[in-house]
Structure formats: C-alpha cells, structure tokens
C-alpha cells in the first residue's frame, strides 16, 4: 500500500469511527460496531477491545472474530499474557507467531487457538492505560508500521470514549484503600532550603480534547501554526516576568524552552499526524502519547526532564487549540499554598501566583533540574524525591515543608504547627539580626578578624554575595554551569559566564574551582561507566588530567574572562603533589597560548588546591611550596578520614568534625600553613555551623567559605567570641579519647555567652 493510500484509508476509518461514536444507543452496542469496523477496514479476522477494570484487570469488552461467550468473561491481569504485557509496558506489541511466544496466555473460551499473528496497542489517556486494542489473523505475519500507527490513532479515539465512564464507572477505578486523615511525616531530599507553611495544591493537568477527527487537514495545519505562534509569544512573556532577576541560569532555562518549541522533529510529527485525519489537538496529543510510551523506559534524568519540557509545551499548545483543562478548580485559592507534583516544568511553576506560592514538593527532582533552578531564583523552599506524595496528599491538606532537612509534614498536629510557626518567627527575627550585622566586621572580642566568604555555583547566587555582606566567593562551583546545559559549553560560553561572575562580584575576590564532576555529579552528555565507589572513583581532577582537552578549554575560558583582573582558581580532589604539578603544567600551556595569541592575561594569578584526600596531609610541606593557598574541603576530607559514606543515615552519628581525631588533623594543616605563610580556608558544610566554626577558629583558622544564609549566624558568633581562651581550652581537649567534643564545646559556648 502506498503512503498516500494509507493516509486516505486512515482518514476514512477515523471518519466512520466518529460517526459511530456520535450516534445514540448504548455504549456497549457502539463498541461492538467499532470492532466490526476496524476488522473490516484492516482486513483482520479478529479485532478485540480489552478494558481496564478495578484491580488492574483487563476484561474483554468487545470482539469480532473470537467467541461471543468470551466477552465479559475473559480477564487478564496487568502483565499477564501478551495483552497484559502490552498494557504493563504501555507500548505496542507485534507478534507474527503469538501462540509460541513465552508470554502467551491461552484462554479456551475465546477460540483464539486458530489465530497466529497478533498486534496490540495500549489505549492511553494522560499516561494512564485504559485498555488494549488487539488485531489477529490466522496467518503468521509481522504487521507493518503503517498498520501499527493506524491502530495507535484509533486507540487514541477510543480513549476518549472509555474516559467518559459509560463502560466502566470512574468510581470503580478509584483507590479503595484510602489513607486515614492522620498526620504523616514524609521523607525527601533538600532541593532548596527554607520553611513553608500552607495548604497543599495538587498539580495534575488533565487536558480534554473536544474534536479528534477533522474533515480538512489544511484547516488543521493552519490552526496548528497559529497556536504555535501564540505559544512562542507566551514563552516570551514568561521570560519577561518581573519576579525573575534579569540574569542567571533561569534565563537559560527559559531559552531552552524556546528552543524546544521550535524543534523540527516535534513539529514534523504533529503535521504528519494531522495528515492521517486527526484534528490539530488530537495530532498534538498523539505525538505526546508516542513520546510518553518511549520515555517510560528511560531512566536518565536528563532525557526525562527534556520530555517533561515537551509535555508542558504540549499542554500549552492543546489549551491554545481549544482543549479543556480538567484539573479540578479550587472554590477559592488559599492565601498560602504548597504545590505538590509528580513532575513540574519551570513554566508551569511560573503560572502560579508568586504571592500565594510558598513551597514545592516533588515526587522526583534534582538540585540542577530546571524547575528547581527557577524555584531557587524565586526563593521557594523545595523538597524532592518524596515517594508516593501524590497518593498520600490531598488537595487543601495542611502541609509544612522543611526544605533545610528535606522533610514534609502532612496534616501536622497543633504542636508541630506551633513549633514551625515559632521557627518561622524566630527565623525572621534572626534574619533581621543578621541583616543588621551585615556591614559590621567579623571581628572577635579580642580583635581577631575572620574572613567570611560564600559558596556559589550559579549566576542566581551572585546577589547573595552583597546581600550577605560576605568578603567574597571562596568557592565557585563551575560544574553547575555544565550540569544545567544540554551539551558541553563552548569556550566562548564559559568565558561569558565567568566574566559575568567577576563583573557581579564588583571587585570582591572569587575563587573558581575547576570542573568537579563524577561521583554524584554526572554530565548527561559525557558517557561514563557505573562505579562501585563513585565518591572514590573517576572524578574531579582525575577526569581533568585524563581528559586534558576539557580542562584546557575551561582554563582558557577562565584566563580570558579574567583578562586584566585577578584570577584565583583551585584544582579539586588533589590526592598527591604530582597531580597538582600536572594541573599547573596544563595551566602554564594555556597561559602561554593566550600570550602568543596576543590576548590580555590576568593582572594577578593565584593557584590553589582543595585538600579533600587525607593522603595530601602527609605531603603538605611539598604542596605548600607550590600552592598559593589551600582550601579544606571538609565534606570529602572527613568522609575519607572516617571511611564513612556521608549519605548513609546509619552512619550519620559517626561523621563528626568535632571528634578529637578530626580536629587534630585540621590543626596539623592549619599550623603547617601558618608556618609557611600560606593562606588556608575551609569550604564545606562544617563551616556553616556556628559551633563547628567556633572550634576551627580556636584551632587557628581565619577564613571560611560557607552557604550564604550561614554568613549572618557565623558572624554573630565571631563577634561574641574571645579567641585566646578558647584556643587554650581546645589544646587541652584534643588529647582526650572522646567520640566527640560537641557537648563540651556547647557547654563552653553557653558559659561564655557565645552566640551559637
């Protein structure tokens, strides 16, 4: 059959289907007519429709070719037999010899033993399987792509009929094991810190299309083009939202949306679907269903997020074409809401009123996912990876999210509500105290000055440098630029971002850490192999030294970005001095290259190393002879020092900076640097806690790089501290065999009026 003849046949079949569905009478009678029509049009000896019933059971509802007594009698569980397997995977199945397939389930009441070939497609709506459409023949044959596509189109039309509830009541498919309305504590992960209190609003768009079949494809193509133009205009308006800062990765996210909206493959597939006889909105839905079925098998978070972007654009396009959003409308919007979603796109988040939106709960999500980047730009607390959140949370449930600890409190008791309300009040009071101290120096009562810098990694972090009153950026994580992109950024793109960071710093020092990928920070476009111990695997400087072209491009961009200005950079996870020497040699090559090209070099260059591996402590004198500064990466250093996985909750209590052994190691590094006059600082979570920072200051540390919200608390601690007596007290403690010195240090702070 030619392609043109196939399109004509598909359009004829859709028109006849529409006439049957528009006719009167019982739904069962119409379903019987439909299987007869499909069998005749596709020259098939059997056409059957299985419908999903309660308990994930597929029931034979109509057939042409199988025995009539099998209707409403033959049932298959989800995953059982070929039909159940098609439903379980939400993908078509094409079997030239079905009876000899290992998953074939024989039902004697059907009389299907004489039929060999079988093709089936899932009947999908909103990603949910409503049933399976099956065609069979006596001869062994593999059905061609045109026949499968025709069945998929028919299945989409059938989905609208099954969704009406005429055949199976929606109440039957509703969950029966309802959850008692008791308080629940749901665990997740921190994606953006802060506390939010409000009422839950479940985000779940259900788009209903009104017309599936169209008379004139030319009219539908025009409608599609007009809707696409409106979509692009709407995206431009979102990008101009006054709630968003003019610069930052969130702008790049929205630019990605504009690129996806112009994707030629997406547009081509929608136009081809219209030519089969579908309306514009049905064609959009058909392409989305195809992609949803393919993406169900994909686990890579990068590609799943790209699908989520396309899904959001599809919804917007459908609404522009006149489809109806069936998401239940609230009688009135609460003053404070927390949005709960399985997945959410950045533009969908921006659709909510910023004045009422207080927090976000996701069943999935990652720190660098696009919706989290936008939420961070809006300063919205986010808790992600909350399993089965959608099944446990009801619309308008009272909800509290603790973004700092990654916990969701559902229908909290009065005591929990009062505790968090008090926490919010105290947090506001602390924020006011921190703001009042912003321009005051971090100087102790006995005149010791401590440098306080912030950690950053995205352009949206840059305003915090000045808002917090920090001295500079002690750690700029360059890998986040690579992780939020669809492909490896070019030298020009990197140069632009790094230069922008220096511009926004307004003369305050910035320490750029070279690419620290690997472990839990994979780049989706850089193939890698699974590792048993990724934290100790191929990561950080090891990747840079093994892939020198990647490191050279980044160093080239940093040199160009800092032209005429000071450049501070450090290499991560140096395990031995030889690695530092090799990294500096690559840097020297790039400096010479830029000089030869006549480019402007940095006015001053300072090169350091991150001390994250205990082996480097034993080569400290050799390292300090080469490095301009050292930055202690407390997270990894203590993890390797204790041989403890810091992400393992069973071992959390054993991972304590305030143990005598850890503090002794820190003191050794601090004293070694002081003897040779090499600046040493600490970046990591340990420095963000006032008590830990107090102990390190007592050991002689005078510079920290911390999360920007911690600056105020650490500064107030420093300003209430007298360093000399603390230092003497600590020396006496280090020789003790305690598991941790935490309690003793807390008592010391309390006795001396130190604000921790």
The model's pLDDT over 687-720, given as tens digits with 9 standing for 90+, comes to 888 999 999 999 999 999 998 878 888 999 999 9
Q: Regarding predicted confidence, which is higher, 504 or 307?
A: 504
pLDDT at 179: 41
Under the banding of pLDDT at 50, 70 and 90, the label for residue 176 is very low
- Provide φ and ψ at 401, rounded to 5°: -115, 130
Task: Examine the domain organization and report whether 446 and 521 are in the same domain.
Answer: yes
Residue 302 pLDDT > 80: no
Task: Examine the domain organization and report whether 509 and 605 are in the same domain.
Answer: yes
The stretch 230-237 carries a mean pLDDT of 79
What is the C-alpha separation between 199 and 522, in angstroms, rounded? 35
pLDDT at 214: 85
- Say which DSSP state 602 is in: B
The stretch 111-116 carries a mean pLDDT of 92
pLDDT in tens, 71-81: 999 999 888 89
Q: Is 541 exposed, middle or buried (0-12, 13-18, 19+ CB in 10 A)?
A: buried
Residue 69 pLDDT > 70: yes
Under the banding of pLDDT at 50, 70 and 90, the label for residue 288 is confident
The stretch 109-121 carries a mean pLDDT of 93
Q: How far apart are the first and last CA of the chain?
A: 79
Task: Examine the domain organization and report whether 219 and 311 are in the same domain.
Answer: yes
Point out the least confidently predicted range of 334-348, 504-518, 609-623, 733-747.
Answer: 334-348
Q: How many CB atoms lie within 10 A of CB 321?
A: 26
CB 199 within 8 A of CB 398: yes
- CA torsion, ordered 167, 170, 173, 177, to nearest 10 deg: -150
b or e along 210-221 (b: 16 or more beta carbons within 10 Å of the residue's beta carbon)?
ebbbbeebeebb
Under the banding of pLDDT at 50, 70 and 90, the label for residue 11 is confident
Q: Is 18 exposed, middle or buried (0-12, 13-18, 19+ CB in 10 A)?
A: middle
- Provide φ and ψ at 508, rounded to 5°: -75, 145
Point out the least confidently predicted range of 136-145, 288-297, 513-522, 706-715.
Answer: 288-297
Task: Examine the domain organization and report whether 518 and 648 are in the same domain.
Answer: yes
Residue 468 pLDDT > 70: yes
- Say which DSSP state 451 is in: E
179 is a domain residue:
no
What is the C-alpha separation between 285 and 212, in angstroms, rounded? 10
pLDDT at 56: 81
What is the C-alpha separation between 714 and 691, in angstroms, rounded? 9
Question: In the chain, pLDDT over 90 holds for what percent of residues?
Answer: 42
pLDDT at 91: 84
CATH number at residue 369: 3.50.30.10
Say whether 626 sits in a helix, a strand or coil: coil
CB 702 within 8 A of CB 449: yes
Q: Regarding predicted confidence, which is higher, 165 or 131?
A: 131
756 is a domain residue:
no
- CA torsion, ordered 646, 650, 654, 656, to nearest 10 deg: 50
Q: Regarding predicted confidence, which is higher, 669 or 369?
A: 669
Point out the least confidently predicted range of 243-252, 428-437, 485-494, 742-751.
Answer: 243-252
Final residue of a structural domain among 427, 450, 467: 427
Point out the least confidently predicted range of 48-52, 437-441, 484-488.
Answer: 484-488
Scan for tokens 């039309």, then name that residue: 157
242 is a domain residue:
yes
Task: Examine the domain organization and report whether 344 and 296 are in the same domain.
Answer: no
Residue 250 pLDDT > 60: no
CATH number at residue 283: 1.10.274.10
pLDDT at 437: 77
What is the C-alpha separation between 511 and 552, in angstroms, rounded? 18
pLDDT at 383: 93
DSSP secondary structure, 245-307, as one string: -SSSHHHHHHHHHHHHHT-HHHHHHHHHHHHTTB-HHHHHHHHHHHHHHHHTT---HHHHHHH
Under the banding of pLDDT at 50, 70 and 90, the label for residue 646 is low
Q: Give the range of the structural domain holding residue 441, as residue numbers without chain letter.
A: 437-751
Point out the least confidently predicted range of 453-467, 479-493, 513-527, 634-648.
Answer: 513-527
b or e along 502-536 (b: 16 or more beta carbons within 10 Å of the residue's beta carbon)?
bebbeeeebbbbbbbbbbebbbbeeeeeeeeeeee
- Say which DSSP state 600 is in: P
Query: What's the token pair of residue 557?
Result: 């961009």
b or e along 403-421 (b: 16 or more beta carbons within 10 Å of the residue's beta carbon)?
bbebbbbbbbeeeeeeebe
CATH number at residue 54: 3.30.450.40
Residue 333 pLDDT > 80: no
pLDDT at 735: 86
pLDDT at 746: 93
The stretch 475-482 carries a mean pLDDT of 86
Give the mean pLDDT of the chain. Answer: 84
The stretch 561-583 carries a mean pLDDT of 96
The stretch 581-588 carries a mean pLDDT of 96
Q: Regarding predicted confidence, which is higher, 215 or 508?
A: 508
pLDDT at 522: 66
Task: Examine the domain organization and report whether 591 and 448 are in the same domain.
Answer: yes
Query: What's the token pair of residue 128?
Result: 């949910």
The stretch 526-546 carries a mean pLDDT of 79
Could you tell me which of 710, 632, 615, 624 has the C-alpha nearest to residue 667?
Answer: 632
Residue 177 pLDDT > 50: no
Scan for tokens 């590792």, then name that residue: 531
pLDDT in tens, 411-446: 887 767 777 776 677 666 666 777 777 889 999 999
Final residue of a structural domain among 325, 354, 385: 325
Final residue of a structural domain among 401, 427, 453: 427
CATH number at residue 602: 3.20.20.60
Task: Examine the domain organization and report whether 564 and 703 are in the same domain.
Answer: yes
The top-scoring range by mean pLDDT among 18-27, 29-38, 228-237 is 29-38
CB 120 within 8 A of CB 97: no
Residue 473 pLDDT > 80: yes
Task: Examine the domain organization and report whether 140 and 226 are in the same domain.
Answer: no
DSSP secondary structure, 219-257, as one string: HHHHHHHHHHHHHHHHHHHHHT-TTS-SSSHHHHHHHHH
What is the C-alpha separation between 685 and 557, in angstroms, rounded? 29
Residue 633 pLDDT > 50: yes
CB 397 within 8 A of CB 383: no
Residues in the chain: 756
Scan for tokens 């389930």, then name that residue: 105
Q: Regarding predicted confidence, which is higher, 92 or 419?
A: 92
Q: Regarding predicted confidence, which is higher, 389 or 556?
A: 556
Residue 178 pLDDT > 50: no
432 is a domain residue:
no
Q: Regarding predicted confidence, which is higher, 300 or 410?
A: 410
pLDDT in tens, 350-403: 778 888 999 999 987 776 677 887 787 778 899 998 887 877 888 888 999 888
Task: Examine the domain organization and report whether 445 and 559 are in the same domain.
Answer: yes
Residue 248 pLDDT > 80: no
Task: Examine the domain organization and report whether 464 and 556 are in the same domain.
Answer: yes
Q: How many CB atoms lie within 10 A of CB 752?
A: 15
Query: CA-based Rg of the chain, rounded to a whole angstrom?
Result: 31
Q: Regarding predicted confidence, which is higher, 396 or 235?
A: 396
Query: What's the token pair of residue 724?
Result: 């000399």
178 is a domain residue:
no
Q: Quote the number of domains for the chain.
A: 4
119 is a domain residue:
yes
**Catalytic residue IDs:** 370, 683
706 is a domain residue:
yes
Task: Examine the domain organization and report whether 659 and 731 are in the same domain.
Answer: yes
Residue 324 pLDDT > 80: no
Residue 636 pLDDT > 50: yes
Task: Examine the domain organization and report whether 527 and 601 are in the same domain.
Answer: yes
Could you tell me which of 53, 69, 57, 173 has the C-alpha nearest to residue 112?
Answer: 69
**pTM of the model as a whole:** 0.59
């Amino acid at each position: 059959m030619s392609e043109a003849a196939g399109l004509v046949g598909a359009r004829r079949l859709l028109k006849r289907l529409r006439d049957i569905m528009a006719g009167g009478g019982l739904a069962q009678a119409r379903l019987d007519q439909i299987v007869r029509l499909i069998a005749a049009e596709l020259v098939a000896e059997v056409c059957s429709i299985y419908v999903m019933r309660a308990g994930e059971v597929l029931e034979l509802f109509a057939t042409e070719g199988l025995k009539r007594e099998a209707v409403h009698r033959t049932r298959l569980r989800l995953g059982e037999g070929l039909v159940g397997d098609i439903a379980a995977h939400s993908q078509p199945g094409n079997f030239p010899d079905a009876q000899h397939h290992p998953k074939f389930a024989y039902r004697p009441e059907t009389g299907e033993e004489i039929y060999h070939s079988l093709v089936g497609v899932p009947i999908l709506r909103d990603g949910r399987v409503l049933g399976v459409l099956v065609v069979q023949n006596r001869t062994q044959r593999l059905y061609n792509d045109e026949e499968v596509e025709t069945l998929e189109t028919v299945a989409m039309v059938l989905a609208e009929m099954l969704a009406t509830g005429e055949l199976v009541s929606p109440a039957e498919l509703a969950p029966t094991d309802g959850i008692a309305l008791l308080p629940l504590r749901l665990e997740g992960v921190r994606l953006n810190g802060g506390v939010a209190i409000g009422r839950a609003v479940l985000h779940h768009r259900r788009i209903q299309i009104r017309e599936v079949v169209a008379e004139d494809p030319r009219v539908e193509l025009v409608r599609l083009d007009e809707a696409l133009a409106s979509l692009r205009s709407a995206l431009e308006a979102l990008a101009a939202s006054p709630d968003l800062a003019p610069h930052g990765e969130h702008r790049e996210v929205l630019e990605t949306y504009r690129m996806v909206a112009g994707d030629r493959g997406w547009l081509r597939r929608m136009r081809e679907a219209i030519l089969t006889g579908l309306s514009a909105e049905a064609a959009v839905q058909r392409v989305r269903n195809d992609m949803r079925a393919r993406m169900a098998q994909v686990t890579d978070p990068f590609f799943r997020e790209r699908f989520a972007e396309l899904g959001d654009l599809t919804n917007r396009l459908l609404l522009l074409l006149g489809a109806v959003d069936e998401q239940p409308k609230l009688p009135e919007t609460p003053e404070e809401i927390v949005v709960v979603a399985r997945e959410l796109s950045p533009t969908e988040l921006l659709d909510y009123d910023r004045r009422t939106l207080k927090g976000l709960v996701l069943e999935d999500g990652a720190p660098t996912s696009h919706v989290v980047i936008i939420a961070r730009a809006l300063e919205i607390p986010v808790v992600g990876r909350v399993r089965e959140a959608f099944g446990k949370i009801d619309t308008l449930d009272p909800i509290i999210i603790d973004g700092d600890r990654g916990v969701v409190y559902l229908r909290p008791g009065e005591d929990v509500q009062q505790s968090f309300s008090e926490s919010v009040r105290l947090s506001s009071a602390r924020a006011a105290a921190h703001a009042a101290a912003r321009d005051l120096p971090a100087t102790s009562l006995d005149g010791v000055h401590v440098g306080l810098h912030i950690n950053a990694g995205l352009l949206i972090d840059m305003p915090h440098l000045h808002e917090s009153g920090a001295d500079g950026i002690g750690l700029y994580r360059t890998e986040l630029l690579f992780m939020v992109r669809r492909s490896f950024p070019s030298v020009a793109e990197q140069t632009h971002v790094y230069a922008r960071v220096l511009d926004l710093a307004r003369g305050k020092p910035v320490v750029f850490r070279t690419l620290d990928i690997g472990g839990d920070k994979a780049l989706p476009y850089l193939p890698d192999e699974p590792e048993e111990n990724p934290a100790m695997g191929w990561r950080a400087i090891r990747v840079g030294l093994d892939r020198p072209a990647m490191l050279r491009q980044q160093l080239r961009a940093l040199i160009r970005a800092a032209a005429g200005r000071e450049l501070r950079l450090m290499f991560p996870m140096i395990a031995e001095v030889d690695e530092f020497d090799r990294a500096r040699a690559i840097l020297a090559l790039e400096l010479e290259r830029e000089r030869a090209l006549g480019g402007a070099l940095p006015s001053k260059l300072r090169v350091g190393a991150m001390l994250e591996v205990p082996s480097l402590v034993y080569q400290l004198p050799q390292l300090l002879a080469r490095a301009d500064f050292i930055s202690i990466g407390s997270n990894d250093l203590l993890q390797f020092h204790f041989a403890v996985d810091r992400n393992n909750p069973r071992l959390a209590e054993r991972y304590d900076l305030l143990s005598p052994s850890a503090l002794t190691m820190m003191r050794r590094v601090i004293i070694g640097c002081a003897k040779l006059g090499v600046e040493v600082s600490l970046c990591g979570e340990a420095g963000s806690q006032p008590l830990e920072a107090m102990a390190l200051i007592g050991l002689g540390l005078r510079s920290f790089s911390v999360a920007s919200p911690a600056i105020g608390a650490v500064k107030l601690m420093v300003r209430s501290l007298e360093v000399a007596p603390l230092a003497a007290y600590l020396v006496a403690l280090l020789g003790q065999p305690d598991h941790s010195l935490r309690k003793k240090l807390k008592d010391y702070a309390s006795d001396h009026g130190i604000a921790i």
